Amino acid sequence: MRKIRAIKRTITGIAVDAAYSQAGTGIARKLMASSTNGPARRFINAKGLESSIRRLASENLPQGTYFAKLTIAKWHVHKGRGFRLLQDGEVVYGNKIEPPARGFPLEYRNIIVTSKDPKRFTLDIDAPYELKIGRGAFTTPQQLKYDHQYGVEQHGDTYYSLRGNTTNPKKLFITFPGFGPSTSRISYAVSYLKAISNADLKDTLMVCFQDRYLAAGSYMMVDNAGRPLYGRVWQTIDDLRTRFAIDPAQMLFFGASKGGSIAIHYARDFPAAQLLLAVPQMNLPYYFNKPFFRDNLFRNRALHDVQQPEDSLREYFAEERRIDYFYTNSDELSNHSLIELVQDVPNLTKYRIDGVHSDVARAALPAMLGIIRGFLGGGQQHRDIGADEIRSFPQENGIQVQVRVDSAGSKINRANWFIEGWLGRTRFLQSMSEHSYEFLKFTSDKQQLYPAYDPIQHLSAVVAIEANGTQWTGTLPGSLMHGSNQEVQRSMSASALSLRAKHPETYVVLDGDRFARFRYRSYGADTEGDTMEVHFVSNAEIDVTGETLDRGEHKASHVAVVEPLDGWAMADLLALRFVIAAKAERLLIVVHAAGSADEAVDTFGAVDWKASSVIAIGDEAPSSHEVPVNVS
Amino acid sequence: MPDSIHLVTIVLEAPGGVDRESVMYRRLIAARLRYEAQFLILQVDEPLTTEKITRLSEIVETKYVVFMRTSHQLAPTYMTTMLDYLRPRTVYLAEPVMYTGVISKNVAATKIDDAYRYARDTDVFGVVFNTRRLRDALEAIGDVDRSALYLSYRLYWSIGTVKPLATGFSVASDTKAAIGLQIAQDVTRLVPLIPAASREVRLHLVRYLALFLRGMRAGKVTQVALANLRDVVRSYGLVEMLRFVEPLQPVEASWIRWLSDPESDTHLYKQLSDSDSYLSFTEGERAEGAQPPLYELHFGGATVVIEKSYRPRDLRPGYSRAASYDFYSRPISPLSTMIFFDRPLQADDNAEHLYEYFRANHGEYTEAYFALNPKSPDWERLQAKGFKLIPIFTTEFYEKFLISDLVVSSQIYNIRYRGKSFANSRFVYLQHGIQLNDMTDWILSKYFDVFVATGQLEADYLRKLAPVETLNSGLPRFEALTRTPHEPQHLLFMPTWRFNLHQVSTEQFAQSEYFRAIDAVLADPKLLAFLEETGRTLHVKLHPNVEKRAGQFRFSRNVVRTDLSYREAIASAEMVFTDYSSAVLDAAFIGTPIAYYHWDAADFFHEQPYEGRVDYRDDGLGPVFEEHAELVNHIVHEQYLRPHELFNARRERFFQGVDPQRINAKIVERMLSL
């Protein structure tokens, strides 16, 4: 107790250092982990010391590293615009200004900085601001209340709540959180899944991890000091598993969006575990290349260097893990041309939902809860319904489908409906809409099936998944006559983008109802180079090494030779994926088609990369037609 | 003009004299007890026209005036409420809650909503007008028909909304809704074009226009110019109100659309199995040599031609939409839900007989239901027969209707449920009887996929209107009749009904020619003597509308009200006679002699809402008598027992194409192929 009183009394530099020493942090953590009714906690509460102790207990940063809290006033003037916080002229944090919760200031907490002197910081927008810097993490009363409500506790450097059977569970259900709004008072949420009751969890220990790192989470890849978290989180999971001797096959990893990416990351050493994913980000740097993240997570090199979820997932596919994956085609930023196109993977079920990224988890909640309850209860209940009638409605590029179900099917309430087909060994389910006539289910305009990559000829059933875990299946009375476009289908590759494609390979970018195929080669160039050079040519086998280009002082680290098969559409996205894959600073796009220079410039004018340039050259006399266009 | 002492003049239109025993008249008179000094009754013995009303408005001295007929009905509180309301006020008008049928006992509970406003009769009757303002308005709107006066008055004085007083008035007839209205020949415009009409007035206007157009199909000629109709539709935005018109007046709804946009001249009318039926409207004479149109109508100097055509289903707008369901998309199969019904309270008609046949011969169709009101005396009987009964017009019925693939009925009801109606789903209309009258306008306003005809004559008539839909199979009831043991035991008299007797008092009914003619037959001494001598009985099957007045007829030991069903009564009759009922054709079908007694042939078709199509004298299947004595002689001399070559030949021709043993089979074959 004396120690605590001393902390309260002497807020001097030395004392602070001592308090934030390893020993101080350890004691504080012990205190915060003690019983809430115990004498120590009662004393802390009575003296109003809780927030100080909590900050002490928070993760300790290396010497010379601090947490900063930035409060921006008069934010209305800058609403929707980006801002950056600079320390000695270097960006340490940036974001896009969004309104805070009503009645609260606009705050960004737990920015990691290396100086505690506010004078060394500037803001690049003309707005009054306040910067607080300290050794302990900042929090809010709302966050504390939230943590208390959901039972989130700190265990070393990990944070989680435990639910369900905490004495003798036979299963382990692990959830990881997504992002909340950037200005939320609760920066660190958990995926608690309130709909899952204690009765559901009678045989299961549910672990809800909190991504309590950096300003709004680090994808649980690194801690506040940038050190990988993998070992610490894995240890936590494995300790729980071994404590209760849980069969790894009785583990389910779940996450939506950011949580999905984390789930993929931490499932790595549990190959027998199931994965339930909704719209995970496949390539973090690619996802971070947008205003909300460009000046925070994108700048964190550690997040570029970790194994990307896409790579992990491809490994899991090869291992034939059981994966249920919910996604939307209108989410190329998260999908990165994998889930939309992958097929013939055993034990993979793809659930395609319409809408944008943020719609998916909400729209598919009954089905996801059904899958979870199926796991918790030892398997989904399968029941049959009759599908009396199927009709198809050809549209310009795809088809819509209408299915009439029998009276048993008509009585199913609050379920997700799908049309089911098989992509080789992969089960594919496209979400359907419910007509006001209970017997009618249909794919809306946004739920169309596309002959280029959907199993139109192999649609086999209409499926309803209820939140209680019951899955209803009605075998379709006939097949649809509309043939797939075999030629296009063959080239709809789901292969990863390679920086070392010696021979031409195909890569597809898909966004919404559009897709574009590219044939390309790629190779490494100068290891000292800082530029990804992407040549757009009429034939991927053309040798571009002889081109004389004005590269200034820059050199190409990697070169790609790309033949667009479907025009210029989405060529800018391909270029962006190349530069991010190459971890290059700069992007140089060379268009080898003088005739389409204007169109190409239009396409690449919109490329979302800070340092990019486009050169259009004629095929016959490249040097004389060189048209540098700087669009950075 | 100084204000008179009296407040209101009640102008009573009574061309044939006032029925002084009618409830309506007695209620008016009863109000004199308290309000004698406040109202006058002015009896007018000629029909009220706009001109007549204009003249009346000039001579009536009371502050207010209201027009009525003795065939109308008044709530007991009508006079009290009106007078109490008007006494302290000066208003343009006051109106009660208007009904077309029985006045609600709880008038205040009647919901005054869009549906009420659309259904409200907007003739001048029952509404109290400010006499001077009516006179003023008539100077401007005196050229419209009387039926448009109320609406024109509201338009003229910009009376956007009217809150009805808590009392009721009924015009006691819904005939107008069925057959439309006829306006005076010299009228050249429907209503004045005064902008900014309220929604309430626009609802009234769209109904008025629909009824006018419906009436035009019968009347064929008007002096109202097409341009005026177009102006009315456009000025008042009536297309926006068409959802109220469509359920009961679908032809007129399409027509109003065309008036609004003459470029869109072809309108989907009804979905069918192979191709849908469309109505098209064109201005101008029809081309020579073209198929005869359904209608050729004359508006002022312009001609409008209405034609029907069939077009492939896939041309239908919205056909290829996954979000809409096509109730024809799946063929009828043993899994199909089907609903059969006759009248809600009375089965024993064509649907029952077809259902019985269908169940016996197509047991694999396990989801075929028969709908009936559980209060019907037939419920237990049919239950005992093993019918799969469902209570008609209940939620269960409508839910079954929604999932059904087929509805079969002897009645046409306007069934609509969650977007499904017979406009977009399969309906087999079996009919209740045979069309002897010209029902063209009615038929063309109804939705059906199959219209069952009996015999070549009727089929030829129907095919002109519905070439794809007509099926000459005969009525299922006939097949049942041929299978019922035919043991003649008595004579049967089946008089039908007269529309103009709906609201008359007991006394007036007793004075009607209808009552006197029938009663004279029942009490004829020669006939009674014949019955007594021969040990015969005359069974009388009164029309359901007359049952409540049965006590006024002179029944006796040998002249009895039969309690047999129609089928039993006909099957056991040795001779059947009627005035105009087509039910006697059931008897003719099984070879029982029939006869017609037309005591009012000259007036009958004039007073009915339809015209005769079949000439009873030239085509009738039995003799036609206009004199009481002729009918009695025919019976007492047993002339009906003698073979009659002419009637036999006519019968054969009349029922040509009907195979008595395959009536049901033929209908079932067709309905399963829809």
Fold for B337-474+661-672, please state it.
Rossmann fold (3.40.50)
Cβ–Cβ contacts within 10 Å for residue A382, how many?
Answer: 11
- Are the Cβ atoms of B330 and A388 closer than 8 angstroms? yes
Give the residue carrying structure tokens 């009346």: B56
Contacts of A404 in chain B (CB under 8 A): 325, 330
A8, pLDDT greater than 80: no
**Cβ pair A393:B402 closer than 8 A:** no
Query: Which residue in B329, B335, B402 is closest to A391 by CB distance?
Result: B329
**What are the residue ranges of helices labelled H in B220-345?**
226-235, 242-245, 250-260
Residue B437 has pLDDT above 90, yes or no: no
**Any chain A CB within 8 A of the CB of B321?**
yes
Find, among A462, A543, A455, the residue nearest to A504 by Cα.
Answer: A543
* A477 has a chain B CB within 8 A of its CB: no
Q: Which residues of B touch A401 (CB under 8 A)?
A: 322
Confidence of residue B24 (pLDDT cuts 50, 70, 90): confident
CATH of B481-654, one of 3.40.50.12580, 1.10.3720.10, 3.40.50.720, 3.30.565.10: 3.40.50.12580
Q: Is the pLDDT of residue B251 over 90?
A: yes
At residue A51, the pLDDT reads 63
Among the four given CATH numbers 3.40.50.1820, 3.40.50.300, 3.40.50.10420, 3.40.50.10860, the one describing domain A141-376: 3.40.50.1820
Confidence tier at A625 by pLDDT (50, 70, 90): very low
Residues in chain A: 632
* Nearest beta carbon to residue A404 from set B321, B330, B418: B330
CA B571 to chain centre: 29
Using a CB-CB cut-off of 8 Å, the residues of chain A touching B320 are: 393-394
> Which member of A389, A404, A444 has the closest CB to residue B323?
A444
* pLDDT confidence band for A19 (50 / 70 / 90): low
Select the residue from B313, B314, B319, B325 to test the A interface by mutation, using most A Cβ atoms within 10 A.
Answer: B325
User: Considering only A340-344, B186-190, B311-315, which range has the smallest mean pLDDT?
Assistant: B311-315
pLDDT of B157 strictly over 80:
yes
Residue B95 has a pLDDT of 97
Measured CA to CA, the distance from residue B128 to residue B131 in angstroms comes to: 9
Contact assessment for residue A264 and residue A308, using Cβ atoms and an 8 Å cutoff = no
Determine contact: A443 vs chain B, CB below 8 A.
yes
B616 or B362, higher pLDDT = B362
- pLDDT: which is higher, B338 or A452: B338
Average of per-residue pLDDT values in chain A = 89
Helix (H) or strand (E) segment spanning residue A460 = strand A459-466
A434 has a chain B CB within 8 A of its CB:
no
Measured between beta carbons, the chain B residues lying within 8 angstroms of A400 are 322
A557 vs A526: CA distance, rounded Å: 5
Average pLDDT for A98-116 = 93
Of residues B182 and A10, more confidence is placed in: B182
Percent share of chain B, pLDDT over 90: 77
- Taking residues A569-593, report their average pLDDT: 93
Distance CA A288, CA B160 (A): 61
pLDDT band at B292; cut points 50, 70, 90: confident
CA quadruple A566, A571, A573, A579: dihedral sign? positive
Q: How far is B263 from chain A (nearest CA, A)?
A: 28
Which of B324, B401, B425 has the most A C-beta neighbours within 10 Å, making it the best mutation to test the interface with A?
B324
* Residues of chain B contacting residue A442, judged by C-beta atoms under 8 Å apart: 322-323
Among the partner-chain residues A401, A407, A437, the one whose CB lies closest to the CB of B322 is: A401
Which residues of chain B lie closer than 8 angstroms to A387, CB-CB? none
Q: Where are the beta strands (DSSP E) in A88-167?
A: 90-96, 106-113, 121-123, 129-134, 153-155, 158-164
Architecture of the domain whose range is A497-630: 3-Layer(aba) Sandwich (3.40)
- Rounded Cα distance between B145 and B154, Å, is 14
Say yes or no to pLDDT of B4 above 60. no
Please determine, for residue A630, whether its predicted confidence score (pLDDT) is greater than 90. no
Say whether residue B330 is in contact with chain A using an 8 A CB cutoff: yes
The 10 Å Cβ neighbour count of residue B535 is 7
Burial class (CB in 10 A: 0-12, 13-18, 19+), B393: middle
Q: Is the pLDDT of residue A632 over 60?
A: no
Answer with the residue of higher pLDDT: B574 or A593: B574
Interface touch B330/A400, C-beta < 8 Å: no
Q: What is the pLDDT of residue B361?
A: 97
- How does pLDDT run across B400-416, given as a tens digit for each residue? 999 999 999 999 999 99
Closest CA to B412 of B376, B449, B438: B449
The predicted structure's pLDDT at residue A628: 42
Q: Which residue of B has its CA nearest to A399?
A: B322
Per DSSP, A416 falls in state E
Q: What is the pLDDT, as a whole number, of residue A11?
A: 43
Q: With DSSP H G I counted as helix, E B as strand and the rest as coil, what are the percentages for chain B, rounded to 5?
A: 40, 20, 40
Q: Which residues of chain A neighbour B326 with C-beta distances below 8 Å?
A: 391
Which CATH architecture best describes the domain B1-173? Alpha-Beta Complex (3.90)
Q: Residue B2: its pLDDT value, please?
A: 44
Contact B330, B405 (CB under 8 A): yes
The single residue listed with the structure tokens 């990691």 is A112
* ipTM confidence: 0.82
Q: Give the tens place of pLDDT for each residue, B375-389.
A: 999 999 999 999 999
CA-based end-to-end distance of chain A = 60
A421, A454 contact by CB (below 8 A): yes
Average pLDDT over residues A168-190: 93
CA distance B285 to chain A (A): 41
On the CB side of B172, how many CA atoms lie within 13 Å of its CA? Answer: 19
pLDDT digits (tens, 9 = 90+) for B644-657: 899 999 999 999 99
In the predicted model, what is the mean pLDDT of residues A496-518? 95
In sequence order, the β-bridge partners of residue A205 are A164, A172
- At B370 the pLDDT is 98
DSSP states along A222-248 = B-TTS-B-HHHHHHHHHHHHHHTT--G
pLDDT: which is higher, A321 or A597: A321
pLDDT at B384: 97
The band of A505, judged by pLDDT with boundaries at 50, 70 and 90, is: very high
Q: Does B418 touch chain A (CB under 8 A)?
A: yes
Residue B612, pLDDT above cutoff 70: no
A440 touches chain B (CB under 8 A): yes
Q: CA A261, CA A220: separation in Å to the nearest integer?
A: 9
- Specify the 3-state DSSP secondary structure of B81: helix
Check whether B1 has a pLDDT greater than 50. no
Query: Å from B671 to nearest chain A CA?
Result: 20
pLDDT bucket at A16, cuts 50 / 70 / 90: low
Higher pLDDT, B48 or A632: B48
A contact residues 301-320, partner B, Cβ 8 Å cutoff? none
Q: Does B335 touch chain A (CB under 8 A)?
A: yes
The answer as to CATH 2.60.40 being correct for domain A381-486 is yes
pLDDT confidence band for A370 (50 / 70 / 90): very high
- Per-residue pLDDT of A326-357, as tens digits, reads 999 999 999 999 999 999 999 999 999 999 99
pLDDT tens-digit series, residues B85-114? 999 999 999 999 999 989 999 999 999 999
Interval B461-489: pLDDT, tens: 999 999 999 999 999 999 988 877 777 78
> In chain B, what residues touch A436 (CB-CB under 8 Å)?
418-419
Q: What angle do CA A451, A452, A455 make, to 5 degrees?
A: 55
User: B63 in helix, strand or coil?
Assistant: coil
Burial A209-232 (b: 16+ CB within 10 A, else e): bbbbbbbbbbbbbbbbebeebbee
Same fold, B337-474+661-672 and B481-654: yes
Q: Which residues contact B205 (CB under 8 A, 6 or more apart)?
A: B151, B191, B197, B232, B236, B238, B241
- Cα torsion for A313, A318, A322, A324, to the nearest 10°? 40
The Cα angle at residue A494 between residues A488 and A496, in degrees rounded to 5 = 135
Nearest to B335 among A388, A394, A401 (CB): A388
Q: Is the CB of residue B163 less than 8 Å away from at least one CB of chain A?
A: no
Cα–Cα distance, B173 to B224 (Å, whole number): 26
Question: Region B216-223: what's the mean pLDDT?
Answer: 94
Stretch A354-375: mean pLDDT, rounded? 96
| Predicted pLDDT at A624 | 31
What is the residue extent of each domain of chain B?
A: 1-173, 177-318, 337-474+661-672, 481-654
Classify the C-alpha dihedral B374-B378-B384-B389 as positive or negative. negative
CB-nearest partner of B329 from A389, A394, A407: A389
Rounded CA-CA distance A554/B244 in Å is 74
Instruction: For residue B452, report the phi and psi dihedrals to the nearest 5 degrees.
Output: -80, 125
pLDDT on residue A484 = 58
Mean pLDDT of chain B: 92
pLDDT of residue B607: 57
CA dist., res. A580 & res. A284, Å (int): 10
CB-based contacts of A110, cutoff 8 Å, min separation 6: A67, A68, A69, A137, A138, A187, A214, A215, A224
Q: Is the pLDDT of residue B215 over 90?
A: yes
pLDDT at B539 over 90: yes
Residue in A593, A614, A610, A592 with CA at minimum distance from that of residue A602: A614
Q: What is the pLDDT of residue B468?
A: 95
| pLDDT value of position A570 | 93
Q: How far apart are CA B322 and CA A60, in angstroms?
A: 59
pLDDT at A627 over 80: no
